[in-house]
Each structure stands twice: as C-alpha cells, then as structure tokens.
Chains A and B, each alone.
Chain A
C-alpha cells in the first residue's frame, strides 16, 4: 500500500523541529510499524539522506524501548499494543500518518523520534526496590503469598517502562508508571517493611522531575500497552498519604 507520512524531524535537543512529508510505496500489510519505518530509512539512505532516528530493540512489546505518537495517540490506534507490535494491516492504502516523539517536559527530544526517559530510571532509584543484598534471602517458600496478591503484583509489574502514559497525559504526569512500580512491591509481604518510604521517595522524585500533576483524565490507562489500571494510582496515593501522616520523608535519587 501507499502511505503519506508526516514525521517529526529535529536535529538535536535545542534545534527547532518540524514535520517532514514522505510518500512511501509498497508497504506490506504484514509488516510491523517499525518495519515500515525501516523501509523508509533504507530508501532515505539509498538517496543519501539522513534516516529517521527512533528507539527500538526487542520488537516484541516487552523491552519498552519503542514508542511514538501516531496520529496523536501514544503507540497508535490499537489497544494494549506497543508501537513495535502494531501491524500495518491496521492502516489503509492512501492513509496519512503523522508520527511524532513522546511530548513531555520530562522527556526532552534527543533527535527526531528519540527522547530521553532517564527521569523514569531516577524514580525507581528513589525507592523502587526491596533492600535485599545478594545472599541474604530466606528460603523462597518461607513466606507464603496469597495467590491473589501475587497475581496483582504481577499485573503492576507488567509495566514495561515505555512512557506512553506520560506522553498521552495532557499534563504530562507520571502517576501511572510510578503507581505501577510502587504497587508491585507494596502489595507483597517482602515489600511491606519499606512500603511508606518507597511511596514517599518515588512520589517526591516524580515531583522533582518535570512531570505534571494528575487530574484523573485516565488517558494513560487507555494507551498503556500493558493495561495497567488507574486503580494503582489510588493505592499509591493512600500509601503516600499514610507516609505523610507518619511524617515519613522519602529519599530522592
């Protein structure tokens, strides 16, 4: 099929970018969205032009590297799908597709469609772990964990750290990501001892970065490729509140 692409090109973080138009022919329906970009890039290189820069690695929806705004939607039109899992059969011959990077103050554009998401790593560094040294763990079956809790912890832990939630949020808030990280550990008995320090620290770090605040638009949940529920945000807020009442200050990274 033939596609009309409008792609954000920006040379470096301080340059001003703009949308550039390309027409791409012979795109196979069976190819993935990123394979469509590969095809464009092969043609650009063939013509001696500079290919479009974008992040990607696993190409199976698990590493969280990829992610672009496709016609204004983070990861594009299909539900629970990372950009790399989107297939071109979702589009029609003759479609116009606008492709832009994640837009958020906390994710500066590095080049073209590639952004800097290190702010998310710093949130994890501010308490998104259980403090257990290698070698000091008790026998694995010593602490039973109710299956329900364990399954719920898994639901939260399924977050791939892609940042789509932030990109789609009108405020650029990172609540869904942070809540998933807090929730995964806080629900497990192993994570209980640091429960409030964790919530306090990660929320404080989130606020120290350039993320916006949450006004319950729920757009994050709609675009999340792993279906992380906004219910986790309420749980995080509860833990954060308790931390505050107890006077627990989290440590930022």
Chain B
C-alpha cells in the first residue's frame, strides 16, 4: 500500500502513476466536502478550480469561521531561508521524532516535501506573512526545532491562511463550481456495501433532516479535544462526523493520542466554557519557571533568582524552553503537583519576558507578541510586560482520528479523511506549526490527486439520494434526535459534558495508568446511561435548536471517550503524549516499548455494547532508526 522505492521518490513516483480524470469529465463527478477549515476549504477550492461539481458543508454561518482561524503561532516549511541547515529531510526527521516514532515514514516525508508549495500558494493568495525589511519572508523557531522554519502572521497565522483558502473558495462559489452549505451539520454517513454514497445533514436553521449524495465524500471536520469539555477548541468542534463514519465501518486510529498544549491560561473557575491558548511561540522568548519552595507566597518580582527554578532549562539544557509540547506540559504538571504552582488557584507556572525585554527591548517583544499579551490582559486583568504570565497545559489537538491509507482514504471505499480529522502524520505527538501544514498539504496538494484517482474508476455512475440506504439512515438520525428530545429529564447537556470532561481529563489526560482507566471505563458508561435517561433538551427537532445540537455532540463524545480509554489501556507503553505512569525512564520520560507497540491501533466498531476490535498496522522504519527521544 505504501509505494516502494527511496523515501524521497515515493510520492513523486506514486503521483506519476495515479489515474486522472479529464477536464471534460470532471463536472460529471459530484464531491462532498464536509468542513471548510484549512483542510476542507483548501480541498473544496482546489476541486472547484479543477472543474468538479463540489458541495461543501460547515456548521458555522460562514466557511471563514472554521476553527483553523484560531491558530496563532505559525506554519512550518523546509524552505531553509535562514541558511541554518534546514531541509526536507530535517523537517521530516523532526516531525517523525517529535511524534515519537508512531507515524508512517512515507506520509511524514511527503508532508515535509509539499510544505514548500504551501508557502508559495499562500503568498500568491495574498496571505500577509511577516517580512523582513528587505521585503522577504521572515521565519522564527518553534517548539521542538533547532532551525527557524516557521512562517507566521503576527499571532493570527490561522486566520490569515484560512482567509486565503476561504477567498479561493469564495471565487469558486462565485464561479458556480462549489455550492456552499453553511449552518449545516453532518449527522451521519450513508454507506452501501462498504462504499460511501453521501451524507445525512441537519439544516441548523430549519431543523430539516435530509440527504446529499455524491461520488465521493471527503471529511475535513477537525479534531475532538472537546471530549474534555474544557479545551482550546471552539465550542462547536465535535466528533460527530468521524464518529458516525466509524460506526458505519471506518476504522478509528489511535483515539487516545491527544495533545495537551503547554501554554494556555490556567482555569479561573467553574463557570468557564473554554480555555484560551497563548501561542507557544511565547516560549521562544519567555522563560518558564516556578518558585523553588512549595507554598511560596511572595509575588513573582519579589522572588530572587536563586529561589527560582527554571525547570525546563535545568532539565533539558540543549532545548530549554523549546522542548516538545508533551515534555513541556508534563513537566509543568509535575511542578504544580509538587505544590509549586503559581496564581490564585496555584494551578500555573510562570512564563517570564523580563530577560527578553532587557535583551531585545520592549518594542520587539510587543511586535512579536503584542496581541497575545493583550489577550492575556483581557482575560486575567494582568499586564505581562510588568509581571510574568501564568500558563498551564490544556487539551488542544487530537493526533488520533479516522485511519487512512497513503491516499488518505479510510477503510470505507470512497470516504476520504483530511486534516485533523485523520490520524495520518503526527504519531503520538504533534510538533508546533505542523497542523496548519498538514491541513493544507492534504487539501491543496494530496487529496486533489488521490481523489481524482479514485473517481477515475467511477465515470458514468449516477448518484442519487433516493435509494434505500439514504432513507434508512435519515430515519435513524431522526430517531436519535427524537430520543434526546424525549428524555425530558432534569439535567442540562452542559452539566453532563462537564462531568464527562472531568473523568476523561483525570483518567485519560496528560498522564494515565491502568487503574485509572479501568475506573473511567466503569464511570463513563454509567454516566452515559444517566445522560440518555435524564438529559433535558427543550424545544423541537424541526426548528433552530442549539441545545439539541449540543446534545447530539455530547452523546457522541460519551461513546468516543470510552474508545479513547480502551485504546489508552491497550497501549501498555508510554509514547509521546500517551504517558502511562507505569512506563517511564528513571528520569521520568516516556518509555516506549518498540518491540511490542510499534503499530497504529485501528479500532473497528462491532455494534453497541460489543467490544470494538483492534487491528494493528505495524510500523516499519526503513530510513530512520527509532531512538529514545532526548532533549537534554
């Protein structure tokens, strides 16, 4: 399935032999793209430009609002504009090592390879990346890398890249090749004889449930960190689209691999609806520390240098504050658990700009991080120029997702999955500035080829949403929403989501162990039973009903949470973000067991109340030697 040959030639050779669809035939094919973020927006626009007949869906009121918009820090590319020794190989190696050797060599190499075209494309679209005085593009270094290869747009790289894709999409909407369906939520996938035929959606304004048929379906619906309730994701981010596909036969890979981002604003109270990320680019110039003493009561500026513990610099002299996210997060948790946390709830660590301001001047810091510091001020009421920021890890990104082959197709024929929704490139941990890269790589430069290859075999086939599987799937969707409305219990959806989130965070979060996961596997189904009996969803299905939207998403999170726990339990090793406390080195680092666990765990749905079946995709490393990560 992975093309043979030298690593550097695999994608080129493969692409050269993919089948094509001639321009005259393209409009005869209908493609459904669910999602309008970087992955979906880029794919839908590209398909439109090529002349396919595209339908694109998103739940927001405009495709420009997809959650990619919130990415702050930047996007990697192996341009080597800094002459600091960067190359495709190095970006590939950093990414696969960062993922703790739990991803496929060929996929990751391809990602590094197309990274350069992404920057070219974005610049041509008018994305205002930061520039130097000579007018050429600026770069900075970013977590986990020793070269400066990250392109950025102040603290809004995601918004600017998404606007590029959105504008390309708008052009295709105007040209009539793409029909956009905003405020529309996919609630199920229609599958006939293991072939994707279309989707069932709910119109969020009218509540109407209806079907759309196509020759192929591309899911680009983003990640599922909201399973934790509190995360850095937008409120509407959900697992529903990929979860429903899983239940229809797509394998779900590495569901428990979720990234906890080190630089978020610590929680301030129960009322909170989400956590806010401060871009980890802050770690370039900010120094992370906590007081040496537990129960320190002095303000930060009253604590002398020799009573501060710059714990990342101390433990990892080579990388210091720029160690990968999982390492930074876990170390922050350790010092907070030791009682050395800072802030009113003692639930954070300091990120301090004092030295950088001395070295570079306040203006430079303001130019680099001004909007982040302003955002911090707004939320906490504190001024980070004069007092250190407080940060703490929060759920942020999910490496797990639907299993896809080298062509990004799932185990359901004709169902492609791109962007954060698939599992493909980040292994057990994702490096900073590589999700934007992956979403755009999939959407602009991989799916357009591989989807065409798939379609070429289906020329002349009619598609229609009037066949049996469509009406059956629609009925099931109506029954599901009907059941949620009929429970008519006493507790709100949000109260259940908070409780579920707490369980998953405690037992399947930054650190896991068998005992805790066993607990969670008892607690989650019990709470789920409660949910279906006692949730209260007011209103009707056939109308705008935001509580019902939430209720459906949380219902799917319950099921996903259980699968995450099973996955975390079965992987009896530590790797990347999956830190099983039973498996650590003497120095407290993740201890892999390559002899047993060098595989992707791909789970198959086996029916409600049945244990899902695990399939293993063994990972083989022909070109790199999996080493124990060391950032010392």
Partners in one complex: yes
Give A contacts to B, CB under 8 Å: 28, 30-32, 34-35, 38-39, 42, 45-46, 48-51, 53, 55-65, 81, 85, 87, 89, 110-111, 114, 116-118, 120-121, 124-126, 128-141, 144-147, 150-151, 153-154, 157-158, 160-161, 184-185, 188, 190-191, 251, 253
B128-161 CB mask vs A (1 if < 8 Å, else 0) is 1111111111000000000000000110101110
Minimum CB–CB distance from B250 to chain A (whole Å) comes to 26
* A118 CB contacts on chain B under 8 angstroms: 61-62, 182
* B269 CB contacts on chain A under 8 angstroms: 28, 30-31
Q: Which of A53, A58, A117, A132 contacts B62 (CB 8 A)?
A: A117
Check if A125 sits within 8 Å of B173, measured CB to CB: yes
C-alpha spacing A101/B79, complex, angstroms: 47
* A57 CB contacts on chain B under 8 angstroms: 60, 65, 67, 234-236
Check if A131 sits within 8 Å of B171, measured CB to CB: yes
* A53 CB contacts on chain B under 8 angstroms: 544, 546
Write 30 A-B pairs (CB below 8 A) sorted by A numbering. A42-B494, A42-B495, A45-B536, A46-B536, A58-B67, A58-B235, A60-B70, A60-B276, A60-B277, A62-B159, A63-B60, A63-B69, A65-B60, A81-B378, A89-B381, A121-B170, A121-B182, A124-B64, A129-B168, A132-B121, A132-B168, A134-B444, A135-B117, A140-B122, A141-B79, A144-B131, A150-B131, A161-B62, A161-B65, A253-B173
Q: Which of B62, B128, B170 contacts A154 (CB 8 A)?
A: B128
Check if A157 sits within 8 Å of B160, measured CB to CB: yes
A130-B126 contact given A51-B546, A110-B544, A157-B160, CB 8 Å threshold: yes
B258-296 CB mask vs A (1 if < 8 Å, else 0) is 000000000011011110110000000000000000000
C-alpha spacing A124/B64, complex, angstroms: 11
A129-B375 contact given A28-B271, A60-B70, A121-B62, CB 8 Å threshold: no
Beyond contacts A65-B61, A153-B128: 8 other A-B pairs, Cβ-Cβ < 8 A, are: A64-B62, A85-B375, A116-B61, A118-B61, A124-B167, A135-B121, A137-B124, A140-B120
Check if A140 sits within 8 Å of B128, measured CB to CB: no
Check if A132 sits within 8 Å of B124, measured CB to CB: yes
Interface centre among A30, A56, A116 (most CB of B within 10 A): A30
B505 at the interface (CB under 8 A from A): no
* A120 CB contacts on chain B under 8 angstroms: 62
Q: Which of A32, A50, A145 contacts B131 (CB 8 A)?
A: A145
A-B Cβ contacts below 8 A, count: 215
C-alpha spacing A69/B123, complex, angstroms: 37
C-alpha spacing A131/B171, complex, angstroms: 8
Check if B131 sits within 8 Å of A147, measured CB to CB: yes
Minimum CB–CB distance from A175 to chain B (whole Å) comes to 19
Minimum CB–CB distance from B545 to chain A (whole Å) comes to 9
C-alpha spacing A156/B71, complex, angstroms: 18
Check if B137 sits within 8 Å of A39, measured CB to CB: no
* A129 CB contacts on chain B under 8 angstroms: 125, 167-168, 170-171
* A188 CB contacts on chain B under 8 angstroms: 126, 128
Check if A50 sits within 8 Å of B268, measured CB to CB: no
Minimum CB–CB distance from A1 to chain B (whole Å) comes to 13
* A139 CB contacts on chain B under 8 angstroms: 120
Check if A147 sits within 8 Å of B167, measured CB to CB: no
